[in-house]
Amino acid sequence: MAIDGWQETVAGRATDYITDRTWHKLFTRRRSRLCRALAELAAETLATKTKMHNAVGSIAAWFARRLKAGKLAEAVARELAANLPLPLDTKFTAVARGVQLTGIAVCLANGRDLTECPCFIDLALSETKERVKQILTAAVDDWVKLANFPALSRPETTGG
């Protein structure tokens, strides 16, 4: 199975950032609602990152208005400030992904099917969207670059 040893690897990395005590508490008894709570926390963490970007954009637009720079300059300031990376971006993303991986480990420990694991579903959807975006970007740039994205192997289907 592709995930053999995965939980031990995640546990090893997780305990670099959270205490052994907290990590072990996650697995002391069956926690049916924990993954849903972790998935919601990860989603809110990523949403907060977006809200921070919007706030920075609004502040930049406010400065442009105060300087009477005009509507176009205000739009440029808002959009530029909202879309530039912020120093905390990587931390917010790392926290969200770490929380999701923890939820996946909890689901696996509880014998839960990953297709029913909220953290796995959110992570898979997010990564699938990113891969599709990369493929579309490559297509717009140069169709030859589409060779960089080979089809993911799928089980053979039968029927007709």
Residues 117-131 pLDDT 10s: 999 999 999 888 887
Cα–Cα dist 77/54, whole Å: 12
87-93: long-range contacts (C-beta < 8 A, 24 or more apart)? 88/49, 88/52, 89/49, 92/45, 92/46, 92/48, 92/49, 92/52, 93/46, 93/49
Query: In this structure, how many other beta carbons lie within 10 angstroms of the beta carbon of residue 135?
Result: 14
Residue position matching structure tokens 């592709």: 2
pTM over 0.75: no
pLDDT one-digit tens code per residue, 101-115: 889 888 988 888 999
Domain boundaries in the chain? Answer: 6-148
Query: In this structure, how many other beta carbons lie within 10 angstroms of the beta carbon of residue 125?
Result: 10
Residue 1 has pLDDT above 50, yes or no: no
Cα–Cα dist 27/73, whole Å: 54
Question: What's the confidence (pLDDT) of residue 136?
Answer: 75
Residue 82 has pLDDT above 60, yes or no: yes
Cβ(76)–Cβ(57) under 8 Å?
no
Indicate the average pLDDT of the chain: 83
CA dihedral 91, 92, 95, 96 (to 10 degrees): -150
Residue 63 has pLDDT above 90, yes or no: yes
